[in-house]
Homo-oligomer: A and B are copies of this chain.
Amino acid sequence: MRKTLYIVTSNRGKLTELSSLALEYGIELVPTDVPKLEVQSDELEVIASYAALTALLMVRKPLIVEDSGLFIEVLNGFPGSMSSYFYKKLGVKGILKLMEGLDRRDAYFKSVIAYASLDTGVKVFTGVVYGSIAYEVRGTGGFGFDPIFIPKGYEKTFAEMSVDEKNRVSHRGLAFKKFIEWFNNNF
């Protein structure tokens, strides 16, 4: 019998990637429309934990929340935990403008998955992928800042990869694998 888990997100791209990952492990993710309370914090762990905990109080069933961000070294970690806000306002072009004339392009994507259940409380799993910021937009896959992020060891941006290919190397894929190992060992 397939296990099910609730997920709190309004981001379709995120849902596509996580659902695909989950299915590989025999888990079905079921979106729930409870509001996602997001606090302001430098730490994705804090944001995801709060969101999972407040959602749990409403859903009262095991669920996950995923939060991620792009941390650019020369921009002091910006946009970091505010990535989706910045993306909504100024998109990838805003980042390219902030990076104009800068040759230090090191960056990493970080993903945090917070699992919450009435039995376990909140557990957090992280994944990080290092890479660099492209000089121009490339590719149409993925979502968010994918068209300007080139993971280390690759020539392509995340947006030039298929969902499966991206999931094998991405921060989100890594965090999800850590979560699922723990989950399958315990439930």
Which A residues contact B (CB, under 8 angstroms)? 37-40, 47, 75-78, 80, 82, 85-86, 89-90, 94, 97-98, 100
Contact = CB atoms under 8 A, between A and B. Distances in A.
23 contacts: A37-B39, A38-B39, A38-B40, A39-B39, A39-B40, A40-B40, A40-B47, A40-B82, A40-B85, A75-B89, A76-B89, A76-B90, A77-B89, A78-B94, A80-B89, A82-B82, A82-B85, A82-B86, A97-B97, A97-B98, A97-B100, A98-B98, A100-B100
Contacts of A78: 86, 89-90, 94
Copies of this chain = 2
Contacts of A86: 78, 82
